[in-house]
Amino acid sequence: MQNNPHTTLITPDAPLAASTHGGRAKCLQRLVRLDMPVPRTVALSFDAVHRIAADELPDIVAIVGQFEPDTLLCVRPSSEDPDWGGPGAVLNVGMNDARYAEFCDTLGQDAAAALYLRFVQSYSFHVARLDPDMFDGVAGDGAQGLRETLHAYEAETEERFPQDPAAQLAAVLRSMARAWEGTSARLLRQAKGAPADAGLGLVVQEMIPGLGQGECGSGVLQLVDQETGKPQITGRYLSQSQGRDALGAGTEALFLDKDKRGPSLAEAAPEAFADLKDHAALMRHKLREEMQVEFVIGNGRVHILDGVRVSRSSRAAVRIAVQLARDGIITPQEAVMRVDPHAVTELLHRQVAPDAVRDVLATGIGASPGAATGRIVFTSAEAQSSAARGEASILVRRETSPEDIRGMHAAAGVLTERGGITSHAAVIGRGLGLPCIVGASALRFVTGKRQLIAPDGRVLRAGDTITIDGGNGEVLAGEPATIEAALDDAFQTLMGWADEARDIGIRANADSPADAQTARNFDAQGIGLCRTEHMFFDPGRMTVMREMIFAQTSAGRAAVLERLLPMQRDDFVQLFRIMQGQPVCIRLFDPPLHEFLPNTKSGQRELAEALNLPVSDVVRRIEAMEEYNPMLGLRGVRLGVTVPEIYDMQARAIFEATLRASEDGEPVVPEIMIPLVSARREVELVKRRVDAVAAAVRAEKGKTFDFRLGVMVETPRACLRAAEFAPDTSFLSFGTNDLTQMTYGLSRDDAGRFMSDYVQQHVFPEDPFHVLDTDGVGELVQLGAARGRASNPGITLSICGEHGGNPESIAFCRTAGFDYVSCSPFRVPVARLAAAQLAI
Ligand code: PEP
Ligand code: MG
Looking at per-residue confidence, does 180 or 267 come out higher? 180
Taking CA atoms, 769 is separated from 91, 365, 506, 626, 739, in Å, by: 50, 12, 20, 26, 10
The one-letter code for the residue type at 292 is Q
Ligand 2: centre distance to CA 318 (Å): 35
Each residue's pLDDT tens digit, 557-599 = 899 999 999 999 999 999 999 999 999 999 999 987 777 788 7
Classify residue 632 by burial, with Cβ atoms within 10 Å: 0-12, 13-18, 19+: middle
Q: Is the pLDDT of residue 606 over 80?
A: yes
Sign of the CA dihedral with 786 first, then 791, 793, and 795 last: negative
Beta strand pairing status for 291-298 and 200-206? unpaired
Ligand 1 pocket test, pick from 511, 631, 674, 738 with the greatest ligand atom count within 8 Å of Cβ, gives 738
Backbone angles phi, psi at 15, to 5 degrees: -75, 95
Predicted local confidence at residue 229, as pLDDT: 93
**How many angstroms separate the first and last alpha carbons of the chain?**
45
Q: Which ligand is nearest to the CA of 589?
A: 1
Q: Which ligand is nearest to the CA of 733?
A: 1
Distance of alpha carbon 456 from alpha carbon 459, whole angstroms: 9
Looking at per-residue confidence, does 343 or 332 come out higher? 332
The closest residue, in CA terms, to atom 9 on ligand 1 is 531
Ligand 2: centre distance to CA 662 (Å): 30
Among 82-86, 445-449, 663-667, 783-787, the range of highest mean pLDDT: 783-787
Distance of alpha carbon 831 from alpha carbon 807, whole angstroms: 6
Rounded to whole angstroms, the maximal C-alpha distance in the chain is 107
Strand, coil or helix: 744? helix
Ligand 2: centre distance to CA 799 (Å): 11
CA-676 nearest atom, ligand 1 = 2
Sign of the CA dihedral with 47 first, then 52, 56, and 61 last: positive
The stretch 825-835 carries a mean pLDDT of 94
Ligand 2: centre distance to CA 635 (Å): 9
Classify residue 249 by burial, with Cβ atoms within 10 Å: 0-12, 13-18, 19+: exposed
Q: Is the pLDDT of residue 2 over 50?
A: no
Distance of alpha carbon 203 from alpha carbon 618, whole angstroms: 78
Characterize 283-300 residue by residue with b for buried, 16 or more Cβ atoms within 10 angstroms of its Cβ, and e for exposed: bbeebebbbbbbbbbbee
Mean residue pLDDT of the chain comes to 91
The closest residue, in CA terms, to atom 5 on ligand 1 is 801
Name, in order, each residue with C-beta under 8 angstroms of 684's C-beta and a sequence gap of 6 or more: 725, 728
Helix locations, 400-487, DSSP H: 405-410, 424-432
Backbone angles phi, psi at 674, to 5 degrees: -100, 120
The stretch 206-222 carries a mean pLDDT of 90
CA-531 nearest atom, ligand 1 = 9
Alpha carbons within 13 A on the beta-carbon side of 784 = 32
Looking at per-residue confidence, does 332 or 536 come out higher? 332
Name, in order, each residue with C-beta under 8 angstroms of 815's C-beta and a sequence gap of 6 or more: none
Ligand 2: centre distance to CA 735 (Å): 5
Strand, coil or helix: 199? coil
**Helices (runs of H) and strands (runs of E) counted in the chain:** 33, 31
Q: Is the pLDDT of residue 176 over 60?
A: yes
The stretch 22-31 carries a mean pLDDT of 95
The closest residue, in CA terms, to atom 8 on ligand 1 is 737
Each residue's pLDDT tens digit, 67-112 = 999 899 999 999 998 888 889 999 999 999 999 999 999 989 999 9
Predicted local confidence at residue 259, as pLDDT: 47
Characterize 521-533 residue by residue with b for buried, 16 or more Cβ atoms within 10 angstroms of its Cβ, and e for exposed: ebbbbbbbbbbbb
pLDDT grade for 5, boundaries at 50, 70 and 90: low
Distance of alpha carbon 634 from alpha carbon 621, whole angstroms: 15
CA-737 nearest atom, ligand 1 = 3
Ligand 2: centre distance to CA 527 (Å): 16
The stretch 805-815 carries a mean pLDDT of 94
Distance of alpha carbon 698 from alpha carbon 700, whole angstroms: 6
pLDDT grade for 205, boundaries at 50, 70 and 90: very high
Which has the closest alpha carbon to 531: 510, 507, 513, 506? 510
CB atoms within 10 A of CB 147: 14
The stretch 516-536 carries a mean pLDDT of 93
CA-734 nearest atom, ligand 1 = 3
Distance of alpha carbon 784 from alpha carbon 715, whole angstroms: 10
CA-592 nearest atom, ligand 1 = 10
Q: Which helix (H) or strand (E) holds 606?
A: helix 601-611
Ligand 1 pocket test, pick from 595, 637, 712, 772 with the greatest ligand atom count within 8 Å of Cβ, gives 712
Q: Which ligand is nearest to the CA of 824?
A: 1
CA-736 nearest atom, ligand 1 = 3
Distance of alpha carbon 70 from alpha carbon 807, whole angstroms: 55
Q: What's the chain's Rg over C-alpha atoms?
A: 33
Ligand 2: centre distance to CA 740 (Å): 10
The closest residue, in CA terms, to atom 6 on ligand 1 is 735
Beta strand pairing status for 527-531 and 584-587? parallel
Ligand 1 pocket test, pick from 428, 530, 531 with the greatest ligand atom count within 8 Å of Cβ, gives 531
Ligand 2: centre distance to CA 737 (Å): 6
- Which residues form ligand 1's pocket by a CB distance below 6 Å? 529, 531, 590, 714, 735-738, 800-801
Which has the closest alpha carbon to 217: 195, 194, 236? 236
Strand, coil or helix: 8? strand
Distance of alpha carbon 829 from alpha carbon 524, whole angstroms: 8
ipTM computed for the complex: 0.99
Ligand 1 pocket test, pick from 529, 678, 713, 714 with the greatest ligand atom count within 8 Å of Cβ, gives 714
Each residue's pLDDT tens digit, 120-144 = 999 999 999 998 777 777 767 789 9
Q: Do 787 and 722 contact (CB within 8 A), yes or no? A: yes
Each residue's pLDDT tens digit, 448-500 = 889 999 999 999 999 999 999 998 999 999 999 988 777 788 999 999 999 99
Predicted local confidence at residue 250, as pLDDT: 47
Q: What is the DSSP letter of 282?
A: H
Q: Do 421 and 365 contact (CB within 8 A), yes or no? A: yes
Predicted local confidence at residue 234, as pLDDT: 86
Predicted local confidence at residue 590, as pLDDT: 94
pLDDT grade for 193, boundaries at 50, 70 and 90: confident
Strand, coil or helix: 729? coil
The closest residue, in CA terms, to atom 3 on ligand 1 is 735
Q: Which ligand is nearest to the CA of 532?
A: 1
Which residues form the catalytic set?
Answer: 424, 800
Beta strand pairing status for 73-79 and 200-206? antiparallel
Q: Is 203 left (phi over 0), alpha (psi -120 to 50) or beta?
A: beta
Ordered domains of the chain (ranges, CATH): 49-206 (no CATH), 217-312 (3.30.470.20), 350-483 (3.50.30.10), 502-535+569-591+646-839 (3.20.20.60)
Predicted local confidence at residue 242, as pLDDT: 84
Each residue's pLDDT tens digit, 703-759 = 999 999 999 999 999 999 999 999 999 999 999 999 999 999 999 888 888 888 899
| Residues belonging to the chain | 840
Ligand 1 pocket test, pick from 719, 747, 772, 800 with the greatest ligand atom count within 8 Å of Cβ, gives 800
The stretch 647-664 carries a mean pLDDT of 96
Q: Which ligand is nearest to the CA of 799?
A: 1
pLDDT grade for 18, boundaries at 50, 70 and 90: very high
Classify residue 143 by burial, with Cβ atoms within 10 Å: 0-12, 13-18, 19+: middle
Q: Is the pLDDT of residue 444 over 80?
A: yes
Q: Do 424 and 399 contact (CB within 8 A), yes or no? A: yes
Q: Do 467 and 376 contact (CB within 8 A), yes or no? A: no
The closest residue, in CA terms, to atom 10 on ligand 1 is 738
Predicted local confidence at residue 57, as pLDDT: 93
Helix locations, 233-304, DSSP H: 265-268, 270-287
pLDDT grade for 644, boundaries at 50, 70 and 90: very high
Ligand 2: centre distance to CA 714 (Å): 6
CA-801 nearest atom, ligand 1 = 3
